[in-house]
Structure 1
Amino acid sequence: MSVHAGQWHFLTNHARVLFAIARDPAARLRDIAEVCRITERTAQSIVTDLEQAGYMRREREGRRTRYILCLDGTLRHPAEADVPVRELLEVFTSHDSPG
């Protein structure tokens, strides 16, 4: 039995993928999956979910895809429906920038 079996986590894979994209909007799905420790297929599914929910959109840059986050939306759960996505991302990505 895995050491992690039965444990729970604060963040969902959807949140992890959103944070990974916020940190590197030009990341490949393979890189996003690796950072989030999920399969590439799961990463693709989550990116599609996030896009359909209006949290991001994709743009092609040559052969690559760039992700553009839509930061003015709010979180989906009724308890956090007034919290802008921008604020959540600032909390989890602010340590990434120098200063």
Structure 2
Amino acid sequence: MGSNAASGWTMFSNHAHVLICLVEDPTRTLREVAARVGITERAVQRIVSDLEEAEIVARQRVGRRNEYKLFLDKPLRHPLESHRTMAEVVALITQR
């Protein structure tokens, strides 16, 4: 059996990966998030916009940078997971 990288998929979406990066450091630049997740900066911008639209993330300008405020009390969006919150998933992964 091959590694996960060889199979081309991971258990969590890029949306989850971006959110986890922002939980770890809400002052990270989108370029830093993109490098950590392994996607383009433009893809991260779209994901952050999705998360803002869903009111999970709020962008706040601090000097020349953005800082992100997170609202993790929201339930997960899929019906199979809607009984859990974003905070529960993030806590599982980040140990927070």
Normalising to structure 1: TM-score of the pair?
A: 0.87
Answering whether residue 18 of structure 2 is matched by residue 17 of structure 1, we say yes
Aligned match of 2:52: 51
Total equivalences in the alignment = 92
- RMSD after superposition: 1.4
Deviation digits for residues 24-60 of structure 1, max 9, x if unmatched? 1000000000000000000100000111011111111
Structure 1: gaps of 5 or more residues: none
User: Which residue type is aligned with residue 67 of structure 2?
Assistant: R
Q: What's the offset of the Cα at 1:8?
A: 2.5
Aligned match of 1:26: 27
Structure 2: gaps of 5 or more residues: none
> How far, CA to CA, are the matches of 1:51 and 1:92 in structure 2?
21
Aligned match of 2:40: 39
> How far, CA to CA, are the matches of 1:75 and 1:13 in structure 2?
15
Answering whether residue 83 of structure 2 is matched by residue 72 of structure 1, we say no
Once superposed, which parts of structure 1, at least 4 consecutive aligned residues long, lie more than 4 Å away?
none
User: Which residue type is aligned with residue 90 of structure 1?
Assistant: A
Normalising to structure 2: TM-score of the pair?
A: 0.89
Q: What's the offset of the Cα at 1:7?
A: 3.1
What percentage of aligned pairs have identical amino acids?
Answer: 41
Deviation digits for residues 55-74 of structure 1, max 9, x if unmatched? 11111111110001101111
> How far, CA to CA, are the matches of 1:80 and 1:69 in structure 2?
19
